[in-house]
Amino acid sequence: MAMAALRREGRRFTPLISPHPMAAVRSSIITAEEQVPLGVRSISTQIVRNRMKSVKNIQKITKAMKMVAASKLRAIQVKAENSRGLWQPFTALLGDTPSVSVKKDVIVTISSDKGLCGGINSTSVKISKAVHKLNAGPEKETKYVILGEKAKAQLIRDSKKDIELCITELQKNPLNYTQVSVIADDILKNVEFDALRIVFNKFQSVVSFLPTVSTVLSPEIVERESEAGGKLGDLDSYEIEGGETKSEILQNLAEFQFSCVSSFVEVRGLVMFNAVLENACSEQGARMSAMDSSSRNAGEMLDRLTLTYNRTRQASITTELIEIISGASALEG
């Protein structure tokens, strides 16, 4: 109250003692926030406080998302490591031959349904487009099978006519063998192919993933390549016993490699299951890294805003003191 009254008194007497009365009146009605040096932008402390509050809330969210991603990563990583024990022997047995030329190629692009995970989805889409361009030809047919909302949103812009099948919400529920096997069954029944090119991100560490293309050939192509003398894997080094022919063995193994047919009734995912798990691990690792970077950036922004707030507050206090001293001097005069 005393300070306000003193300011009012000072403003009353300022026109009387000032050699420029109009200038004194104008300066007396200027608020403390506007009394800044020429060329310096004024900012309200309330605006800075609101901005600091918003940044703090965002930082809390990013830290929480990082913790959630870390907990999900650990669970999925265990499944992915266990699935490698099934997938790697079949790859060694039948081989992985991306250079095989076929008429009908199907590119299975695996991505995530949610964002905020860096450039992991863009990488899968770029690799898929490169594989599509590499296998395109006048007598060839190349189609897409998309798993995940993010790859669908990107590929549908310029490759809508080449999309054969779209499946989303893969991770709405925790990933399991039965869920992926149903997807593999849909692809085997509804999509005709000579070769499946599965594009996914192989998990290496929290901050590193490797874009990977895994090729699964149809039984007919496997038999053709085997009869032509092509080296597909270690199968030729084994002797086949029993009543089944080599063609039947190749057909069963090729189907099992992609979808792991059990008793020829139930379909189980193998390569697809491993690819989905590897991509899910890479997604959670990329999200952890992205949220960690966001939290650090929010901390740096908070430091800058705190400095701005302190400077603005000190400037406001200095202006108040100048007004008080000016008023007191006017009263004494």
- Percent of the chain exceeding pLDDT 70 equals 71
235-239, 256-260, 282-286: the lowest-pLDDT one = 256-260
Question: Distance of CA 277 to CAs 87, 184, 200, 229, 272, Å?
Answer: 12, 14, 10, 34, 9
Q: Answer yes or no: is pLDDT of 31 > 50.
A: no
Q: Answer yes or no: is pLDDT of 18 > 50.
A: no
Q: Answer yes or no: is pLDDT of 59 > 60.
A: yes
Contact, 217 vs 254, CB < 8 A? Answer: yes
How is residue 22 written in tokens? Answer: 């109009």
At 53, the pLDDT band (50, 70, 90 cuts) reads very high
At 242, the pLDDT band (50, 70, 90 cuts) reads low
Paired residues of 110 in beta bridges = 147
User: What ranges do the domains of the chain cover?
Assistant: 60-228+247-289
Position with higher pLDDT, 21 vs 60: 60
- Which residues 6+ apart lie within 8 Å of 194 measured at CB? 102, 103, 104, 105, 217, 218, 220, 221
Report the first-to-last Cα separation within the chain, whole angstroms: 22
Distance of alpha carbon 196 from alpha carbon 165, whole angstroms = 13
Contact, 128 vs 199, CB < 8 A? Answer: yes
Q: Which of 98, 130, 88 is nearest to 197 (CA)?
A: 98
Q: Which of 285, 284, 287, 255 is nearest to 272 (CA)?
A: 255
- Map residue 191 onto helix, strand or coil: coil
Burial of 284 per CB tally in 10 Å (0-12, 13-18, 19+):
buried
- Which residues 6+ apart lie within 8 Å of 190 measured at CB? 164, 165
At 88, the pLDDT band (50, 70, 90 cuts) reads confident
Mean pLDDT of 162-173: 88
Contact, 258 vs 196, CB < 8 A? Answer: yes
Structure confidence by residue, pLDDT tens digits, 185-228: 788 788 888 888 999 999 998 889 999 998 887 777 777 776 66
Q: Answer yes or no: is pLDDT of 2 > 60.
A: no
Residue written as token pair 């989303």: 168
Structure confidence by residue, pLDDT tens digits, 262-291: 322 233 357 788 889 999 999 999 999 999
Distance of alpha carbon 83 from alpha carbon 113, whole angstroms = 22
pLDDT at position 146, please? 94
Structure confidence by residue, pLDDT tens digits, 33-48: 444 443 344 568 889 9
At 245, the pLDDT band (50, 70, 90 cuts) reads low
At 32, the pLDDT band (50, 70, 90 cuts) reads very low
The answer, as to whether pTM is greater than 0.75, is no
Summary mean pLDDT of the chain: 78
Distance of alpha carbon 329 from alpha carbon 45, whole angstroms = 29
CATH topology of domain 60-228+247-289: Pyruvate Kinase; Chain: A, domain 1 (3.40.1380)
pLDDT at position 12, please? 41
pLDDT at position 49, please? 92
Structure confidence by residue, pLDDT tens digits, 116-151: 998 999 999 999 999 999 988 888 899 999 999 999
